Structure 1
């Protein structure tokens, strides 16, 4: 599946410094699937790993990207995607200790024990010393993204000192009215220029999502080169979430 790249309407948004987004402390990024961390927050993570520190939580096992593949059944694909996530985080400057792999079934996050997930994430944020939590925007159409957004809101209710930021992935490209919808939340743009090389490499590490590994599911997910480059070089978008 290819994704059309639309004219980017972010030119008029205020720019924000990466230091402002970290809050002077380690950050925690919730990724619904392996690759969302690189696509949506790669530049911010590269900055954070080089300064205060960061932790990536992968909510699902990513096994649903190629459901018709016989060569790559869910368990095998999940192991590969976990390896790809580790490689991506390493390219952004992190290490194995900076990743939590929850491994819930891809596409079924909404059926898991939400209270238990919230409790575990609240404990993690406390242990890491995070002040800012990042989760996908609820405007993203994928159900796992929406459930991750809802979980993140419950985490900040449990930890009032924690500030939640939304970051869009799919909605940025498939919703031309996104910025109008979130204008009241004052979206800001992070210039990825200092970290483009690292972010591009991290996106590229997700080889299974680039059509380079799974060859027996022509209808499975595949990022085009244009799509990858657009995410690598375009400003990252963030806004404070509405609880």
Structure 2
């Protein structure tokens, strides 16, 4: 096992794909097909803390499920209005309008119907609102749903709060939760003991699903551009985009 490092999201690129890919290829993570993960007759629901998390986490899987004709629903917990703090180029009122539109474009590129429900909770404030979020999700989930959300130990407070609230709501609703790491790939190292590898499953993506996911990420223009008003680089880092280009997605089932 690799040494455990601090669980922090620093400004850098994080653990590079050049380290992750050989380790993932050598590790016996069980493969699972999209049709087995979401059986016929089940609905797939994605609970995303921010616009773009649904694509980063399971964009390829969503494309596969859409091609299979599965019923899909995307729940956007926040509108991602805190992605550019202090920016005059991307102030919160602009992001509130732009980021949901980017999600709709991304879903279209994935071939996913636009069943997008926005809860409008505050970006950056979900930790204190976990009970409220759980209460909002309970009537939206059905018994037999397969619910995908961010990992409850992902390192980002909104991701963790969303994962925890979704798990509570699913327990009350009779749905099944599958967690997906997004920021965990940044701060963790191959073999990190805090990642629940025994629950890990590798969802293989065909060439079309992989290409659609890469194209869908380009829809998030606000996150792909440097911000001249603050001097900050793109929110979606090169390492994040490299991880999203994998021909598979790893979920914690």
Which bin holds the TM-score, normalised by the shorter protein? 0.7 to 0.9
> Which position in structure 2 is the counterpart of 1:137?
151
Name the CA distance, whole Å, in 1 between partners of 2:249 and 2:151: 12
> Which position in structure 1 is the counterpart of 2:92?
74
Higher-helix-fraction structure: 1
TM superposition outliers: structure 1 runs of 4+ over 3 Å: 177-180, 182-185, 224-227
Task: Please give the TM-score of this superposition, normalised by the length of structure 1.
Answer: 0.87
- Length, aligned pairs only: 234
Tell me: CA distance 1:192–1:3, structure 2 relative to 1, closer, same or farther (3 Å): farther
> Which position in structure 2 is the counterpart of 1:211?
225
Name the CA distance, whole Å, in 2 between partners of 1:167 and 1:10: 15
Tell me: CA distance 1:217–1:139, structure 2 relative to 1, closer, same or farther (3 Å): same
SS of 1:34's equivalent? coil
Name the CA distance, whole Å, in 1 between partners of 2:77 and 2:136: 12
Report deviation, 1:177. Answer: 5.1
> Which position in structure 1 is the counterpart of 2:212?
198
Task: Please give the TM-score of this superposition, normalised by the length of structure 2.
Answer: 0.84
C-alpha distance after superposition, 1:141-197 (max 9, x if no partner): 11000100110111122023x111110000022211565334464211112233111
* Contact map agreement 1:136 1:149 (CA 8 A) in 2: yes
After superposition, residues 93-242 of structure 1 pair within 5 angstroms as: 93-96=111-114, 98-112=115-129, 114-126=130-142, 130-160=144-174, 162-176=175-189, 180-183=193-196, 185-194=198-207, 195-211=209-225, 214-219=227-232, 221-225=234-238, 227-240=240-253
- Give me the CA root mean square deviation: 2.1
Report deviation, 1:224. Answer: 3.6
Unaligned runs of 5+ in 1: none
Report deviation, 1:135. Answer: 1.1
